[in-house]
């Protein structure tokens, strides 16, 4: 099976979905809100909170970003 990402105009999306379903295409919706960081990203986040690699722990994200 091949995975494709397509952009469909909102007015045509129902028609396109119906046609694709007739052809046996399945749909998978991805949710950005449910993503989980991988182990390397999580370790980096944890290290940053502890101040490892940046000198001191991050207490306020805005002041940290402004210091960059």
Domain of 58, in residue numbers: 36-68
Average pLDDT over residues 55-66: 75
Residue 56 resides in a domain: yes
With vertex at residue 57, the alpha carbon angle to CA 55 and CA 59, rounded to the nearest 5 degrees, is 135
Predicted confidence (pLDDT) per residue in 7-54, tens digit: 999 999 999 999 999 999 988 877 666 778 888 888 888 887 787 776
Whole-angstrom distance, CA of residue 35 vs CA of residue 12 = 29
pLDDT of residue 32: 65
Residue 55 resides in a domain: yes
Residue 5 resides in a domain: no
Residue 62 resides in a domain: yes
Residue 59 resides in a domain: yes
pTM: 0.39
């Amino acid at each position: 099976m091949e995975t494709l990402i397509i952009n469909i105009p909102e007015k045509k999306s129902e028609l396109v979905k119906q046609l694709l379903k007739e052809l046996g295409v399945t749909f998978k919706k991805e949710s950005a809100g449910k993503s989980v960081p991988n182990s390397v990203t999580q370790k980096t986040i944890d290290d940053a909170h502890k101040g490892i690699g940046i000198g001191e722990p991050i207490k306020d994200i805005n002041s940290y970003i402004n210091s960059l």
